Amino acid sequence: MSKKQTKKQKKFHSRDRIFLLTFPMTVSFLVLVLLGKLPPISALVSFVLTFFFTFLLADPFLKELEILINYLRQEAEGKNLIQPTRRFKKRREAFKIVESFNQIKTAWALRTKFLEAQTLTDSAILEQLAQPLIFVDINGVVVDENHAVRGQFARSLLGQNIKDVLPDENFWRAVHDVLINHKQQVDVSFDVVQNNKKSYFTAVVQWLPAQTKKKAEAVILLNDITPFKTFEKSQTAFFANASHELKTPLSVLSGFIETLQGPAKDDAVAREKFLKVMAQQTAHMTDLVQNLLALSRLELEEQGPVVSVHWPAVAGEVFQTLDGRARENGKKLKLDVQGTIPLCLGRPADFFRILQNLVDNAIKYGQKKSTVTVTVSATKKQVTVSVHNKGKAIKADELPLLFERFYRSAATSQKSGTGLGLAIVKELVHRYGGQLSVDSQTGRGTTFCATFSSAP
């Protein structure tokens, strides 16, 4: 709109309205004059009187209307004005209109403040949500995000196109369906490779009913299901390995039983030989089942009472239990307690199993006529328990895999075992917030270290 049009619009002519009001009467006078029904002088006097009284009665209303129009127009333009109600008589309609307008204005101001406060509250809630929320504009550019997004990606995504952040065709198709095809909501599952690591996600892409201040058109609720996928794969591998481990001894037992029932039924020598092997296989299955049960109890977090535990005392109990096995394997057990050892809070059965599994492995895989040494040392806040044996060194690339379920390194594959002992140790150590490490070098042997916080 031009400046001339704006000025013309703002100008209000009250006299024009008065002439408009008197126009019908003026036409009537002219018609009567033309028909000879009224003398021109009488018609002129009648017009002047009509105009005068019309002006006298209508002018105050028209002036108030002019003030009202200018007030409402300037309010619409956002100008702060002094309310003109004092210039109107309370009985007149202009005063009532302004009064009603002010009531509406006050109500909308309160409503606006409420909505702004509600928006700030909602934003604060969304910011603290554990799940990542990503807001994108019509082009898919990230215009807003919550704290969980920065935690998920270790950076802010603002200004980036979501297609570049999560470059998966299924995901982008879902976003496109919402932004371009105007679908209300699309659920999608996808995976992406980031930093040579595969991550799995589910996402809900939701159309926003109104554009936000930052011009967001859609919101993406992201859910990282990588831990669940990893757990699912580990569970599948776990059951497959468990089935394999149980299948072998069961096959041996089944074959020997058939032989003893058939060709070797009356062969005392063969029976004695087979029964010995069957006993070994049965013991192996028993160890496997016990370890599986132990892992199940750990996953179900079955717990007993927490008490103060003294690690040298635990080592003494383990030595009593495994001393016979050590002698059978040509090994010696040695306990080295360095200084005063503070107590640790835990469950004695858990600490016993940690050290028992480590010492049992050291006995099993150490060199003959060697010594298995358990060292207990401490600082002001920590207690470290290490188990050392001299045996075949474990390759460096295998060390991180030692604590995986059923994993057997090349250095230990020749010996019988379930491959679950170190996995149980890992679960137990981490349950108490401890740290577990392993070092293996040719000529120096292998050392497992577990570190725990001392009791306050």
For 56, 82, 84, the CA distances from 63, given in Å and listed in that order, are: 12, 17, 12
We report the CATH number of the domain holding residue 177 as 3.30.450.20
Are 363 and 391 in a shared domain?
Answer: yes
Tokens coding 267: 């062969």
Whether residues 311 and 432 fall in one domain: yes
The whole-number pLDDT of residue 2 equals: 45
Q: How many CB atoms lie within 10 A of CB 375?
A: 17
Together in a domain, 295 and 345: no
For residues 276 and 414, membership in a common domain is answered with no
- List CB contacts of 417: < 8 A, sequence separation 6 or more: 361, 364, 408
Q: Quote the domain boundaries for residue 28.
A: 3-81
From 207, 224, 241, the end of a domain falls on: 224
Neighbours of 235 (CB within 10 A): 12
Say whether pTM exceeds 0.75. Answer: no
Q: Phi first, then psi: give them for residue 227, nearest 5 degrees.
A: -60, -40
Same domain flag for 193 and 263: no
Residues 314, 285 within the same domain: no
Do 216 and 250 lie in a common domain?
Answer: no
pLDDT at 3: 46
pLDDT averaged per 10 residues, the chain (length 456):
45 59 75 81 80 72 73 71 56 69 77 65 66 90 88 88 91 92 92 81 90 84 85 68 68 79 79 80 73 64 75 93 87 91 89 90 85 91 92 79 65 55 84 88 88 88
Domain end marker among 224, 259, 281: 224
Q: How far apart are CA 241 and CA 235, in angstroms?
A: 10
Query: Could you give the CA distance from residue 44 to residue 35 in angstroms, rounded to a whole number?
Result: 15
Q: Considering the domain boundaries, does residue 374 fall inside one?
A: yes
Q: Are 344 and 424 contained in the same domain?
A: yes
DSSP string, 270-295: HHHHHHHHHHHHHHHHHHHHHHHHHH
Give pLDDT, residue 383.
94
One domain, residues 389 and 445: yes
**How far out from the chain centre does Cα 190 lie?**
16
Amino acid code (one letter) for 143: V
Picking from 191, 224, 257, the residue at the C-terminal end of a domain is 224
The long-range contacts involving 42-47, CB below 8 angstroms and separated by at least 24 positions, are 47/22
Contacts of residue 32, defined as CB under 8 A and 6 or more positions apart, other chains included, come to 38, 43
CA atoms within 13 A on the CB side of 291: 25
| Dist CA 179 CA 208 (whole Å) | 10
For the record, the structure tokens of 298 come out as 């750990």
Domain assignment present for 113: no
Residues 337 and 425 in one domain: yes
Q: Which residues lie closer than 8 Å to 143 by C-beta, 6 or more apart?
A: 135, 136, 137, 158, 212, 214, 215, 216
Phi-psi region of 436 (alpha: psi -120 to 50; beta: other; left: phi over 0): beta
Q: Residue 237: give its domain's CATH number.
A: 1.10.287.130
Same domain, 311 and 449: yes
Query: Measured between alpha carbons, how far is residue 129 from residues 140, 170, 183, 375, 443 in Å?
Result: 22, 25, 25, 46, 54
Residues 75 and 186 in one domain: no
